[in-house]
C-alpha cells in the first residue's frame, strides 16, 4: 500500500526488500503481493536472515515497517545502515518499527522513542505533552509501550510551521488505529510535531502522546510516526499525507507535496479505499 501511495506522487521509485524469514506475516504477503519480493519462509519464531544485506547507498530514503519481535539485522547490515544515515540518508519509521531492535543502540537513537522489547527507564525518558501544553521528559521507572483498543482519535499539531505539517488543520481526526502511549527512548535531536490524547476510557495515560516526530542522526533525517497499525489505518488520508510529506522531507529536507482536498477535519475522518 505504501509503495503505491509513494509511487503515485511521481516523486518516488520504491524497491521492497525484506528478510527471507517471516513471522506472522503470511496473511499480508498473500493479500498484498509484491512483484520481485522473492521467496519467503514462515517461521514459528523470528530468526535473523544472514543474507539480508541491502545496498543502502543506492537509495535516498529507507522506510522501515518492521515490527514487534523482529529478528535483529546482521551486524554488518546494522553498521552499514549507521554509516548510510550518518552520511545524510533518510529514514521513515512506521508504527511497530519503533518496537524493533531494542538492543541496537544507534537504531534507538534514530527512532528517538520506542516501545516493548524490554525497554524501560534504562533506555531513556517517557516523552509527552501535558494538559498545560508543556513538553515533558519523564524519567520515572516503568516499561515502554502500551495501547488500548483501536479507535479514531484526534491528531493535534504542535508545530504548524514545519514543512511536514505546514498547512494542515491544527486538529484532525485519524481513522481507526492503535494509539501508542508510554513510548520512551534517547529522545535526542528530536522534535514532536503532533500528538494524540491517550484517554483513560481507552486504557490510556491521560497524556498527549507523540504521533509525528522528526529527528537527526549525523547528517541523516528521520520521520517517525507510531500510526499505521493495519490496512484501514493506512487508508486514512491524514496518514497517507503524513507518510508522503514525511518521506519527502526525510529524503530531501523539503516538502512540495500539497495537503489534499479530502484531508480529514477535526470532526470527520477521511479514507481512500485501497484497490
Cross-strand partners of 220? 217
- What's residue 25's pLDDT? 67
Q: How far is CA 102 from CA 99, 109, 114, 223, in A?
A: 7, 11, 8, 18
In three-state secondary structure terms, 25 is coil
What is the reported pLDDT for 67? 86
- 189 closest CA partner among 122, 250, 112, 272: 112
- Number of helices and strands (H, E) in the chain? 6, 11
Q: Which residues contact 132 (CB under 8 A, 6 or more apart)?
A: none
- Domains in the chain, CATH or no CATH each: 57-252 (3.40.50.880)
Digit-by-digit pLDDT tens for the chain (275 residues) are 999 999 999 999 999 988 887 776 677 667 766 676 677 777 778 889 999 999 999 999 999 998 888 899 999 999 999 999 999 999 999 999 999 999 999 999 999 999 999 999 999 999 999 999 999 999 999 999 999 999 999 999 999 999 999 999 999 999 999 999 999 999 999 999 999 999 999 999 999 999 999 999 999 999 999 999 999 999 999 999 999 999 999 999 999 999 999 999 999 999 999 98
User: Model pTM greater than 0.85?
Assistant: yes
213: helix, strand or coil: strand
Amino acid at each position: 500500500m505504501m509503495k503505491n501511495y509513494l509511487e503515485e506522487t511521481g516523486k518516488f521509485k520504491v524497491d521492497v526488500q525484506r528478510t527471507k524469514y517471516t513471522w506472522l506475516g503470511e496473511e499480508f504477503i498473500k493479500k498484498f503481493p509484491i512483484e520481485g519480493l522473492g521467496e519467503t519462509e514462515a517461521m514459528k519464531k523470528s530468526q535473523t536472515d544472514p543474507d539480508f544485506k541491502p545496498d543502502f547507498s543506492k537509495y535516498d530514503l529507507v522506510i522501515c515497517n518492521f515490527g514487534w519481535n523482529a529478528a535483529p539485522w546482521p551486524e554488518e547490515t546494522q553498521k552499514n545502515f549507521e554509516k548510510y544515515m550518518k552520511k545524510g540518508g533518510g529514514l521513515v519509521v512506521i508504527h511497530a518499527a519503533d518496537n524493533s531492535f531494542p538492543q541496537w543502540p544507534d537504531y534507538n537513537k534514530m527512532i528517538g522513542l520506542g516501545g516493548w522489547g524490554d525497554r524501560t527507564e534504562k533506555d531513556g525518558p517517557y516523552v509527552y505533552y501535558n494538559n498545560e501544553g508543556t513538553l515533558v521528559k519523564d524519567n520515572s521507572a516503568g516499561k515502554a509501550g502500551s495501547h488500548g483498543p483501536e479507535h479514531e482519535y484526534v491528531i493535534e499539531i504542535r508545530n504548524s510551521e514545519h514543512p511536514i505539517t505546514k498547512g494542515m488543520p491544527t486538529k484532525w481526526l485519524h481513522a481507526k488505529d492503535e494509539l501508542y502511549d508510554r513510548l520512551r527512548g534517547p529522545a535526542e535531536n528530536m522534535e514532536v510535531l503532533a500528538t494524540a490524547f491517550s484517554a483513560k476510557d481507552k486504557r490510556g495515560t491521560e497524556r498527549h502522546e507523540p504521533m509525528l516526530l522528526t529527528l537527526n542522526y549525523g547528517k541523516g533525517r528521520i520521520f517517525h510516526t507510531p500510526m499505521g497499525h493495519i490496512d484501514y489505518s493506512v487508508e486514512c488520508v491524514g496518514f497517507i499525507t503524513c507518510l508522503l510529506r514525511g518521506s519527502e522531507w526525510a529524503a530531501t529536507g523539503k516538502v512540495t507535496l500539497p495537503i489534499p482536498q479530502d484531508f480529514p477535519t477535526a470532526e470527520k475522518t477521511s479514507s481512500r479505499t485501497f484497490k
